[in-house]
Amino acid sequence: MSNKILSVGSDFPHFDKKAVVSIEKGKEFKNISSVEHRAEGKWMVMFWWPKDFTFVCPTEIAEFNKHNQDFADRDAQLVGASTDSEFVHLAWRNNHDDLRGLKFPMLADTSKSLAEELGILEANEKIAYRVTYIIDPQGIIRWVCVNDLAVGRNVPEVLRVLDALQTDELCPCNWKKGEETIK
């Protein structure tokens, strides 16, 4: 197993994983794949959390959900992921007020194969670090942010970076959408 985190400029690994997409009986699960992502020609923002049924994770997942339309408006598919199974994801969604109405899939990397290929497994427990990837429509990693297990991320910063990447121009420090880029 590699401890090296897959980073900017790398191809995002191919994957085909079960995900929880609904809490409606009979419509809970769907496979999500990298092939589907590339075929849609959209950006993808995949964010990983360590474990379901914990304390920091639902605050982040709920915050990403509040901004789901902001990502959609930028032609980006939001995907949440952890190494928990799809059944644990579903149980958590059913039992947590902030997670019942999620508008994006919760990917289950039960085999830990995708997390391992990405190099984002914590050494002792083999759970994923809090990692956020922005992947372009061609499947290339354009941004990676890794947080310690104890620290939640900043969703508006993910949107800011996505905006900057989508300009395809040089963006200065603290640049925000609508501001001048460097010509």
Please give the share of the chain, as a percent, with pLDDT higher than 70: 96
Instruction: Please check the confidence at residue 2 and state whether its pLDDT lies above 50.
Output: no
In a domain? residue 41: yes
Q: What is the DSSP string of 15-63?
A: -EEEEE---STT-SEEEEEHHHHHHHT-EEEEEE-S-SS-SHHHHHHHH
In a domain? residue 141: yes
Whole domain around residue 49: which residue ranges?
Answer: 16-151
Instruction: Please check the confidence at residue 55 and state whether its pLDDT lies above 50.
Output: yes
Most distant pair of Cα atoms in the chain: their distance: 53
In a domain? residue 163: no
3-class secondary-structure state, position 180 = coil
Q: What is the DSSP letter of 7?
A: -
> Rounded to 5 degrees, what are φ and ψ at 115?
-60, -40
Please give the share of the chain, as a percent, with pLDDT higher than 90: 52
Quote the pLDDT of residue 183: 82
In a domain? residue 85: yes
Query: With bands split at pLDDT 50, 70 and 90, how would you rate the model's confidence at 1?
Result: very low
Quote the pLDDT of residue 166: 94
Quote the pLDDT of residue 58: 65
Query: What is the tally of structural domains in the chain?
Result: 1
In a domain? residue 68: yes
CA-only gyration radius of the chain, Å: 16
pLDDT in tens, 83-131: 998 988 888 888 777 777 888 999 999 999 999 999 999 988 899 999 9
> Rounded to 5 degrees, what are φ and ψ at 120?
-110, 15
Active site residues: 57
79 vs 57, residue with greater confidence: 79
In a domain? residue 33: yes
How far is the C-alpha of 11 from the C-alpha of 8, rounded, in Å? 9
Q: What is the CATH number of the domain that holds 36?
A: 3.40.30.10
Least confident of 5-14, 53-62, 114-123: 53-62
Beta pairing class for 16-20 and 29-33? antiparallel
Instruction: Please check the confidence at residue 24 and state whether its pLDDT lies above 90.
Output: no
In a domain? residue 177: no
Q: What is the DSSP string of 59-92?
A: HHHHHHHHTHHHHHHTTEEEEEEESS-HHHHHHH
Q: Beta partners for 107?
A: 19, 81
3-class secondary-structure state, position 135 = strand
In a domain? residue 130: yes
